[in-house]
């Protein structure tokens, strides 16, 4: 039997593939480049392990005539990291360090237009995630720092509010908020959290 989390992942994956297939069936209208910066935070289970950090996001977005879209995204994030569980191969806890997080994904969703200068978006996404845990070991009085990497899938759901700017260089300004969950385990917890970005979308 599937647990609640697994059921949510299955439903999200099915909806995501439906949105992708529907979007691909529509004629392409425009192609955009998106870029943003913001804050990333892990779930409550990580309150003593991963502190909120800075995130950067870039993407390539394809929209259709009926306002459906597909978006390839890349996120580079950094958490503040405090190790809580001692590993078998190290007798030390590594704290006050940084944990890098890379997310490569594909989002599918729809834009809802509100007048000539504003729109909102809903989307689902899937992708690849890699997070590093810093470790310190001592061998023959030599201190070594290593990064243990965890790789897995992730599922994402989000929304975006956008405004068409009078500044030609910025074109469209947006606020993006999304929740994500992965299969990667960090300090015995499944990694998940949310991200909030402020960014711009520019036509190509």
pLDDT, tens digit, for every residue of 1-50? 445 454 555 545 555 555 555 555 555 578 899 999 999 999 999 999 99
- The confidence score (pLDDT) of residue 27 equals 52
| Least confident window among 18-22, 117-121, 123-127, 182-186 | 18-22
Q: How many CB atoms lie within 10 A of CB 183?
A: 17
Distance, CA of 204 to chain centre: 24
Delimit the domains of the chain by residue range.
4-203
Q: What value does the mean pLDDT take over residues 174-202?
A: 94
Give the confidence band of 175 by pLDDT, cuts at 50, 70, 90. very high
| Cα–Cα distance measured from residue 96 to residue 87, given in angstroms and rounded to the nearest whole number | 17
- What is the share, in percent, of the chain residues with pLDDT greater than 70? 85
Six-digit token pair at 92? 């030390």
For the chain, give the number of residues: 204
Domain spanning 4-203 has what CATH number?
2.40.160.20
Give the confidence band of 129 by pLDDT, cuts at 50, 70, 90. very high
- pTM listed for this prediction: 0.82
pLDDT, tens digit, for every residue of 79-103? 999 988 887 767 778 888 899 999 9
The CA distances from residue 32 to 10, 130, 137, 162, 168, in Å, are 30, 26, 46, 14, 14
Mean of the per-residue pLDDT values of the chain: 84
- The confidence score (pLDDT) of residue 144 equals 77
Q: What value does the mean pLDDT take over residues 94-114?
A: 91
Name the 3-class secondary structure at 14: helix
CA-based nearest residue to 100, from 55, 145, 136? 55
Tell me which DSSP letter residue 171 carries.
-
Q: What value does the mean pLDDT take over residues 57-70?
A: 90
Residue whose token pair is 């009085």? 141
| Cα–Cα distance measured from residue 153 to residue 91, given in angstroms and rounded to the nearest whole number | 30
Letter string b/e over residues 93-129, b meaning 16 or more CB atoms within 10 A of that residue's CB: ebeebebbbebebbbbbbbeeeeeeebebebbbbbeb
- The confidence score (pLDDT) of residue 2 equals 43
Six-digit token pair at 41? 């935070």
| Least confident window among 7-11, 85-89, 171-175, 191-195 | 7-11
Q: Does an H or E element contain 11, and which? A: helix 4-24
- The confidence score (pLDDT) of residue 4 equals 47
- What is the share, in percent, of the chain residues with pLDDT greater than 90? 55
């Amino acid at each position: 039997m599937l647990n609640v989390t697994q059921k949510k992942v299955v439903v999200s994956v099915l909806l995501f593939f439906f949105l992708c297939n529907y979007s691909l069936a529509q004629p392409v209208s425009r192609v955009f480049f998106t870029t943003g910066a913001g804050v990333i935070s892990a779930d409550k289970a990580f309150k003593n392990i991963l502190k909120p950090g800075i995130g950067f996001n870039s993407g390539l977005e394809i929209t259709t005539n009926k306002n459906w879209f597909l978006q390839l995204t890349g996120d580079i994030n950094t958490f503040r990291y405090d190790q809580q569980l001692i590993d078998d191969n190290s007798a030390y806890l590594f704290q006050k360090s940084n944990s890098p997080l890379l997310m490569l994904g594909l989002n599918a969703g729809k834009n809802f237009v509100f007048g000539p200068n504003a729109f909102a978006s809903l989307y689902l996404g899937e992708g690849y995630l890699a997070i590093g845990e810093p470790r310190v070991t001592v061998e023959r009085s030599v201190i070594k720092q290593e990064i243990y990497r965890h790789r897995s899938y992730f599922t994402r759901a989000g929304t975006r509010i956008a405004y068409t700017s009078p500044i030609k260089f910025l074109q469209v300004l947006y606020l993006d908020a999304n929740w994500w969950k992965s299969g990667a385990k960090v300090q015995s917890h499944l990694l998940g959290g949310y991200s909030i970005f402020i960014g711009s979308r520019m036509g190509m």
